[in-house]
Amino acid sequence: MNPDILKERQNATFDVEKLTNILDGGPEKTKRRREIESMVLSDPDFKEEDPNFLSRSERYDQAVRKSALMILKLREYGIADPEEIYCYKNMARGTSHEALGLHFVMFIPSLHSLCDPQQARKWLPLADSYQMMGTYAQTELGHGTHLRGLETTATYDPATQEFVLNSPTISSIKWWPGGLGKTSNHAVVLAQLHTQGNNHGLHAFLVQIRDMNTHLPLPGIVVGDIGPKFGFVEVDNGFLKLENVRIPRENMLMKYAKVEPDGTYLKPPSAKLTYGTMVFVRSMIVGESARALSKACTIVIRYSAVRHQSEIHAGEPEPQILDYQTQQYKLFPLLATAYAFHFVSQYMKETYHRISGDISGGDFSELPELHALAAGLKAFTTWVTNAGIEVCRMSCGGHGYSHSSALPNIYVDFTPACTYEGENTVMMLQTARYLVKCYRQAKAGQRLSGIVSYLNEADHQSVRPQPVAAGTASVDINDLASLVEIYKLRAAILIELAAKSIQQELQHKSQEEAWNANAIDLVRASDAHCHYVVVKLFTEKVGEIENTEIHSVLSDLALLYALHGITNNSGDFLQAGLLRVPQVLQISGRIKQLLSQLRPNAVALVDSFDFNDRKLNSVLGRYDGNVYEHMFEWARRSPLNNTEVHESFHKYLKPLRSKL
């Protein structure tokens, strides 16, 4: 064990194990998670070559092998609980992605949520037994987030009671679905439904794309891999071109919308029902944001504790780089953010399951709020995490650029989350549409409930942008409840300003033009709403914690998160008269104090995430802190070092000499 990292752990003021229990949801859950992880760690079948040293084809092969292994092992161990399955897979796949990822995350949930009982009885057993291996084909070459612009068609033919699916243009070719290129034999395809001469918009259809035995593409199906990408090296993201592909009428997923044998269309009770799977995945992405940022923070903070560089005092030993205030200022707000996102993720999961239960019972009243919240928080957390991982990488200096640090892989594998399942700016605008609608309802005297209830007229009568001189001095910058309040007021003000600006524009512009003319303000309003929600949920979680030492350190983290957010957006708070300049300066001083207060607990706080070394796969983030020995060992394993003299010397360099 590196003596620096040992000393860091001895200096901690709280019990790491107890905080791990809080993050896991209780000691029993921690115990069970570790049991599941140890099943993988002790299993020789999951020993593998470092993917950094493999070709793309080898990495895909390794991912498929592991997917097949995981399925068999989960059955062997009798692991059936969804959270436990996720935990097992998360450990087994290591730093790579699962070949059948979309089968579990999108394909099966789509069948569950969109099949009528008869369809579910027929198809779910096939999907659960992997006779059907599926993906979710929505995005096209020409359209992604703008779902209504998708061009794939499904035209009903009453003579044969079949749908005829086509990709009518080059831009309508399905593009990007994971597992589509080589792995899947079925896809849930989103297509424009045409029947009796009318287009009824997007609907989901189950389409077989490959033979169940030979795995060869079926007639009319042109399918393949889209080629190398920024990350997700082992995943076969694919393309799909449909050429007059006929499927039975029953292959339209008909839990909500239906087409009768004669072609009559019966519409669903809520237009948003088709997007249930996307809401689920967006909620999951909030959790992925928390995990990715937690990993990056673990690596950089452990490394910063063992890396010594430069001098603070002349002639004295080189200090740990974690002792530099600038390093703390880069990293500790990100650590606070990782904790905040973890608690937001817990809230999203609970909310999704609760509202899903209501939907099953025919109550759709909370679906719009869930849809807006999932869209906004997906964008908010992925943007912050994406930028944060890169800050962590750069904070490791040159070694952060090496794949041995794991940070380049964490970055390239996380960054698509800003685009997939809804491009972030569009997600923020979707949330804004909901917020403006709620604001108008509140102005009209309707009583709002849920997380937007702060927009109720009575609640924000006093919320008006004021001259700075008239600003309130009542904000206690050390009181989390007081900070939640000004985050709430900031959100309400920005929503009101955007809504009023649109109203003004409507006097001489169309609805669409007025919306586009205020899009920047609308995104800021959504961002402020999401920021408020995160500060509020983090504060509420801290209030639930009974252990004094943990309550103290998490209060410091929550305070740092809230105050750092104010300094980054000080213009909003000053313009609205919510703070005055002296208070903003006071906040800067308080942040410096919090960095010093958190310094002794930094390593313990990342230890509490409880990432196993094999899961992190980072030389810099090792639990024992023995970085340099293992970095040298890692480098020597590079395939370029398999021979002392590379063949290129004899092929090109040696002949070159004789030609000069």
- Evaluate whether 484 touches 532 at the Cβ level (below 8 Å): yes
**Active site includes 544?**
no
Backbone torsion region of residue 75, taken as left when φ is above 0, otherwise alpha when ψ lies between -120 and 50, otherwise beta: alpha
Task: State how far the Cα of 479 lies from the Cα of 489, in Å rounded to an integer.
Answer: 16
DSSP 8-state assignment for residue 459? T
Say if residue 216 is exposed, middle or buried (CB neighbours under 10 Å; 0-12, 13-18, 19+): exposed
Choosing from 421, 457, 512, 633, the catalytic residue is 421
d(CA 401, CA 388): 15
Residue whose tokens read 């504790």: 305
Residue appearing with tokens 């029953």:
250
Q: Which of 455, 283, 516, 451 is nearest to 379 (CA)?
A: 283
Could you say which DSSP state residue 122 is in? H
CA–CA dist 566, 561 (Å, integer): 9
| Residue that is written with structure tokens 């944001």 in the block | 289
Residue 424's nearest CA partner among 393, 392, 387, 454 is 387
Tokens matching residue 53: 């040293």
Q: Give the C-alpha separation, 616 to 565, whole Å.
A: 28
- DSSP letters for 574-638: HHTTSS-HHHHHHHHHHHHHHHHHHGGGHHHHHHTT---HHHH--STT-TT--HHHHHHHHHHTS
Torsion of CA 475, 477, 478, 483, to 10 degrees: 70
Q: Are 584 and 568 in contact (CB under 8 A)?
A: no
Specify the pairing of strand 153-157 against strand 186-195. parallel
Phi and psi at residue 192, in whole multiples of 5°?
-75, 120
Residue 402 CA to residue 406 CA, distance in Å, equals 8
- E strand or H helix at 35: helix 27-41
Question: CA 138, CA 564: separation in Å to the nearest integer?
Answer: 39
3 state DSSP class of 162? strand
Phi-psi region of 527 (alpha: psi -120 to 50; beta: other; left: phi over 0): alpha
What CA–CA distance (Å, rounded) separates 21 from 610? 10
Nearest to 362 by CA among 279, 280, 269, 259: 269
Counting beta carbons within 10 angstroms of the beta carbon of residue 583, is it exposed (0 to 12), middle (13 to 18) or buried (19 or more)?
buried
Nearest to 457 by CA among 466, 444, 473: 444
Catalytic residues: 421
